[in-house]
């Protein structure tokens, strides 16, 4: 049972921005361990060792699917009854497991010890364990730790915690020469496309964080300016800022407009001329606008309702409203970082209902009353809502799929139009 705190209204700074309401109650989200699925694909020499229960192991296995051909780069050190009862020395057991793992897998160069609810319950100090193991295995293997625990978090916070743990491993320099750092996990194909665009714009050195290999960590210094590629990296951004890097606030690169605005922020910060910028983006922007337009028939005028889940909700709502004329019934988000979200909020209609946090029963009532054409929600809510006749989209799919940038804008629109087309076919 959870405490229910009634909704309170809070005025945002500008009278043109939507108001944000807050609610707390029963929540329906995955935990931060889920982030391992896309993080282990990105950092190709990293291993994620969850220190958790069989439940944690099942979550990861089912979210990742079965891997037959490759040795997985994640696993679970199971905390069993003996550990929970304090009959075994959990640190000793962990050291043994890590030793065996690293001996068997010399390809691992970065090992994350990932905390979970059970490791927090038995107060296993994974930062001390990481320190201890580092002294044993460094420099061949770097050992870091972060928590993916599900208590009061949502699943994308796993990436934020992981990247925050990596920041101390970045090289800090005194270099004042301007350099762009793109922060947030992007599919390699998306990263390559952005790299081409930045090169065409004439930007010098551009680095991406997290890197594809732990041996290619970017360096940062007072000249580093960073763009967030994902909207759920509050702690990572704060840690980078504490080391002197400067955040470039921008909308997120979703859709043709979002991508242009995101790139424009970098162009502006690095003194790229309008002509050069337009020249670099003209062709891909045109392709993106055309690809998005193909989905307008299905989506224009349709009502969409977002349950809070991935923290991508506000940028997605902006894309669907501004580029596809969708009507926003409600935009729920687990957490709202006002500074990072400012450029997005400014582009939403002032009447948009934005709800931070969740009280799932109340939200379900509002959803039923709004009768949206499409509901974006977590897996746990999707099936019951489908059974009630709603058309749903799994929020987690939007994190697993490459959706950023011009070349993916049409695919992003397709993720929303496809469920509506499928529903039409089913009722036809």
* Residue ranges in contact with ligand SF4 by CB under 6 A: 31, 33, 52-53, 55-56, 59, 116-117, 148-150
- What is the rounded CA–CA span in Å between residue 124 and residue 92? 11
Nearer to ligand SF4, 34 or 193 (CB): 34
Q: Which two tokens stand for residue 92?
A: 């000793």
CB 272 within 8 A of CB 201: yes
Whichever of 116 and 230 has its CB closer to ligand SF4, that residue is: 116
DSSP alpha helix (H) spans, 138-273: 157-166, 188-201, 234-242, 255-269
* Cβ burial 241-269 (10 Å sphere, 16+ → b, else e): eeeebebbebbbbbbbbbbbbbbbbbbeb
Which residues are paired to 394 by β-bridges? Answer: 377
Return the residue matching tokens 């439940």: 55
Distance CA 318, CA 321 (A): 5
DSSP state of 307: P
User: Is the CB of 228 or the CB of 396 nearer to ligand SF4?
Assistant: 396
Residue 314 near residue 336 (C-beta atoms within 8 A): yes
What's the min distance (Å) between Cβ of 48 and ligand SF4? Answer: 13
Q: Which is nearer to ligand SF4, 149 or 185 (CB)?
A: 149
CB of residue 137 to ligand SF4, shortest distance in Å:
25
Query: By the 8 A CB rule, do 304 and 376 touch?
Result: yes
For ligand SF4, the closer CB: 32 or 218: 32
Q: Give backbone dihedrals phi and psi of 72, rounded to 5 degrees, phi first.
A: -65, 155
CB of 413 to ligand SF4, least distance (A): 32
Minimum gap (Å) between residue 185 Cβ and ligand SF4: 19
For ligand SF4, the closer of residues 292 and 396 by Cβ is 396
Smallest separation, CB 321 to ligand SF4 (Å): 33
In sequence order, the 6+-apart residues with CB closer than 8 A to the CB of 35 are 148, 155, 156, 157, 158, 159, 161, 162
Q: CB of residue 148 vs ligand SF4: minimum separation in angstroms?
A: 6
For ligand SF4, the closer CB: 57 or 254: 57
CB of 1 to ligand SF4, least distance (A): 17
């Amino acid at each position: 049972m959870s405490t229910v705190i009634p909704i309170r209204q809070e005025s945002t700074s500008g009278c043109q921005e939507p108001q944000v309401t807050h609610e707390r109650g029963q929540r329906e989200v995955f935990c931060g361990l889920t982030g391992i699925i896309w993080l282990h694909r990105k950092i190709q020499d990293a291993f994620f060792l969850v220190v958790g229960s069989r439940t944690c192991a099942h979550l990861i296995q089912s979210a990742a699917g079965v891997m037959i051909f490759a040795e997985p780069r994640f696993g679970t050190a199971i905390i069993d009854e003996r550990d929970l009862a304090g009959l075994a020395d959990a640190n000793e057991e962990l050291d043994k497991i890590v030793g065996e793992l690293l001996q068997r897998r010399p390809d691992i160069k970065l090992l994350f010890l990932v905390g979970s609810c059970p490791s927090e319950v038995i107060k296993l100090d994974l930062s001390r364990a990481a320190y201890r193991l580092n002294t044993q295995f460094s420099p061949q293997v770097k050992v870091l730790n972060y928590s993916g625990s599900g208590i009061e978090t949502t699943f994308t916070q796993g990436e934020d915690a992981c990247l925050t743990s990596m920041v101390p491993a970045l090289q800090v320099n005194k270099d004042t020469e301007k350099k762009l750092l793109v922060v947030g996990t992007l599919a390699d194909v998306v990263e390559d496309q952005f790299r081409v665009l930045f090169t065409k714009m004439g930007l010098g050195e551009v680095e991406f964080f997290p890197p594809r290999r732990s041996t290619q960590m970017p360096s940062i210094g007072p000249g580093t300016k960073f763009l967030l590629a994902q909207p759920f990296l509050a702690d990572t951004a704060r840690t980078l800022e504490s080391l002197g890097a400067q955040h470039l606030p921008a909308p997120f690169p979703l859709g043709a407009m979002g991508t242009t605005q995101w790139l424009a922020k970098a162009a502006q910060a690095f003194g790229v001329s309008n002509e050069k910028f337009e020249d670099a983006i003209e062709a891909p922007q045109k392709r993106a606008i055309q690809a998005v337009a193909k989905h307008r028939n299905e989506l224009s005028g349709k009502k969409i309702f977002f349950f809070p889940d991935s923290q991508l909700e506000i940028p997605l709502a902006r894309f669907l409203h501004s580029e596809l004329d969708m009507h926003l019934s409600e935009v729920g988000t687990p957490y709202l970082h006002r500074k990072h979200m400012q450029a997005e909020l400014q582009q939403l209609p002032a009447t948009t209902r934005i709800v931070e946090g969740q009280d799932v029963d109340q939200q379900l009532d509002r959803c039923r009353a709004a009768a949206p054409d499409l509901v974006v929600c977590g897996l746990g809510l999707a099936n019951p809502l489908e059974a009630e006749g709603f058309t749903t989209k799994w929020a987690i799919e939007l994190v697993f799929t490459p959706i950023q940038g011009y070349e993916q804008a049409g695919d992003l629109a397709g993720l929303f139009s496809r469920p509506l087309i499928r529903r039409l076919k089913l009722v036809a």
